[in-house]
Amino acid sequence: MLIVQKYGGTSVGSLERIEKVARRVARSKDDGNELVVVVSAMSGETNKLIEYAHHFSRTPSKREMDILLSSGERVTASLLAIALQEMGYDAIAMTGRQAGIKTDDSHTYARIESIKTEALTRELEKGRIVIVAGFQGISESGNVTTLGRGGSDLSAVALAGALKADACEIYSDVDGIYTTDPRIEPKARKLDFISYDEMLELSSLGAKVLQNRSVELAKKMGVRIVAKSSFSDSEGTIIAQEDEKMEAVLVSGIALDKNQARVSLRDLPDRPGIAAEIFDRLAKEQINVDMIIQNASREGMTNLGFTVPQSELARAAKVIESTGHKIGSADYDENVCKVSVVGVGMKSHSGIAAEAFKALASNNINIEMISTSEIKISMIIDEKFGELAVRVLHEVYELDK
């Protein structure tokens, strides 16, 4: 089998950890696999490099940041290759450029455009273990680029796709994707399988496991991911196309997003163009609007409510105050959160939403806003009930079973 393995920051967080990873890689090689291993920088290293740059400048040039930040991954790639060589394995370390990863030239957030796999394939044919520095590539103009925070996952998925690997194993310090955050609900259970779409909706649950962009790419390229822990030998969670799923599950998980704030605009003139203008201005400021509710109008006036990330509320308020329209009143509430119930089974079942509403109601939790998609129900509620709501819903859908 041709396997792409990726080890995250904590998995290679110390020299001892790198040694352990080397042993794990060696074991897989001994099993007869061809291996491409993508590594992150040692945990904390990328942040440290960013701090170094900020010592000299508040706005360091992005081109230079990319040269700086790409070095973290090169350290681990070369050390891992050296460790493997010392154990008697033929290993070779490569930078993103050497591995053929071509990107556009948006420094610090580059997109992978293509991968030239010749060099990689040549090394694999020699029987070598190829270690690739994650998170980086090279632009058309020959500049080093990086792929955005957490971008080593993206490197791994893209390489697995380009090489048509048989498996893409992503190792972190968590042993998979859980039905909810185990710190909130200790009865949370590790899932054997989750579809790409569910995973994207549950991104907050998988945040420490997989970067979101890499899940999108895996879906696009049809790369089947196994998320595992490098600290244990447990099975992990498979992330793949939903039709691979053996049994139809209604609900896969419950997510809680505390980084939400609500904006309520009252007594807006109800005529064409008002919503367009408000949301256009917010978009231009790159403020992500999530849920939107507009009430039926009365006497030519209407109310409009929406949510934005809490960290963007102050900017959103500024935008609204500068719209110049006669908004009767605007109020802002930071103390809200979003609870989401996610499952592909919802597509073919009705009544799942009603069950969620009933469960929250019987616990006296008021729902302020609701939005749904084919596979998700999200509810905005008072932040102080967020964790309770997660436990209540986890129980209702019997996710511990």
| Residue ranges that bind Mg ion, judged by CB under 5 A | 8, 150
Q: How many residues bind ligand ASP (CB under 6 A)?
A: 12
150 binds ligand ASP (CB under 6 A): yes
State in angstroms the smallest separation of the CB of 172 from Mg ion: 7
Using alpha carbons, list the distances in angstroms from residue 282 to 98, 180, 267, 290. 41, 31, 19, 12
Mode of pairing for the β-strands spanning 129-133 and 34-39: parallel
41 binds ligand ASP (CB under 6 A): yes
206 binds ligand ASP (CB under 6 A): no
State in angstroms the smallest separation of the CB of 299 from ligand ASP: 52
State in angstroms the smallest separation of the CB of 302 from ligand ASP: 43
State in angstroms the smallest separation of the CB of 209 from ligand ASP: 12
d(CA 11, CA 26): 15
Asked if 227 and 172 touch (Cβ cutoff 8 Å), the reply is yes
Closer CB to Mg ion, residue 72 or residue 161? 72
State in angstroms the smallest separation of the CB of 6 from ligand ASP: 8
For the CA atoms of 126, 128, 134, 138, the dihedral, rounded to the nearest 10 degrees, stands at: -20
Closer CB to ligand ASP, residue 28 or residue 152? 152
151 binds ligand ASP (CB under 6 A): yes
Region of 111-119, 137-145, 151-159, 348-356 interacting with ligand ASP (CB under 6 A): 151-159
Contacts of 59 (CB under 8 A, 6+ apart): none
- Tokens found for residue 276: 């367009």
5 binds ligand ASP (CB under 6 A): no
State the DSSP string of 16-63.
Answer: HHHHHHHHHHHHHHHTT-EEEEEEPPPTTHHHHHHHHHHHH-SS--HH
Q: Which residues pair with 133 in a beta bridge?
A: 39
Select from 46, 172, 204, 307 the one that contacts ligand ASP (CB under 6 A).
46
d(CA 91, CA 86): 10
13 binds ligand ASP (CB under 6 A): no
Half-sphere exposure of 110 (CA within 13 A, CB side): 31
Residue span 119-138 as binding mask against ligand ASP, x where in contact by CB under 6 A, dash where not = ---------------xx---
Task: Tell me which of ligand ASP, Mg ion, none is bound by residue 41, counting a contact when its beta carbon lies within the kind-specific cut-off of 5 to 8 angstroms.
Answer: ligand ASP
Closer CB to Mg ion, residue 158 or residue 249? 158
Interface with ligand ASP (CB under 6 A): 9, 40-41, 46, 72, 134-135, 149-153
